[in-house]
Structure 1
């Protein structure tokens, strides 16, 4: 079974809608990493201190066949068509350990759908 990672650095108010949308189309969960980021817009300053925007990095480890539906769902939920809301991109995964229980559950689900 092949896996890929979707990474989506997003504004914190978009995190929950993105995770919920991904779960509706088959993602089993997500890892959320708090981060800071800068984009094309200049960072705001206050008395000489730079204020960086808070960002969440939402990470999905998915079976390859789920990547396209999850990307479509998070693009819509995250409102990526609006400037400054976030982005998403996909990376290949070489090896995965610790997913055995999810792989077995997936195989059972597929087997049950045929019978």
Structure 2
């Protein structure tokens, strides 16, 4: 099996919606990393200090054939077409260990996808 890492950068108020929706669609879990950052629009200032937007980085390790389905779910359910909502992208995974408990689920998803 080949795996990909989906990384989604979302505003914290969307994190639970994203994770819940992805699990409903077949994701087996997520890792959530609190972060902060800036984008095209600079943060507001207060007494000379820049207020940076909080962001959550949510990662999903998924089987390769599920990537496009999951990206579409992220895009529509979290309204990524709206500016400032979030971004998501995919990275290749060369090797992974520790997935033995999830391999049955991945095989079932692969079988269902090709039926």
TM-score (norm 1): 0.90
> Given the alignment of the two structures, is residue 38 of structure 1 paired with residue 32 of structure 2, yes or no?
no
Matched residue SS, 2:87: coil
Asked if 1:54 is matched to 2:54, the reply is yes
Equivalences for residues 25-104 of structure 1 within 5 A: 25-104=25-104
Equivalent-residue separation in structure 2 for 1:75 and 1:97 (angstroms): 29
Residue 104 of structure 1 deviates from its aligned partner by 3.4
- C-alpha offsets along residues 85-106 of structure 1, whole Å, 9 cap, x if unaligned? 0000000000001001111343
The 2-side partners of 1:42 and 1:4 are apart by 32
More divergent stretch after superposition (90-99 vs 70-79): 70-79
Q: Is the 8 A contact 1:19 1:74 kept in 2?
A: no
TM-score by length of 2: 0.90
- Structure 2 Cα separation of the partners of residues 30 and 77 of structure 1: 16
Runs of 5+ unmatched residues, structure 2: none
Q: Matched residues in 2 for 1:30 and 1:78: separation?
A: 16
Long gaps (5+) in structure 1: none
Which stretches of structure 1, 4 residues or longer, exceed 2 Å deviation after superposition? 104-107
**How far off is 1:78 after superposition?**
1.3
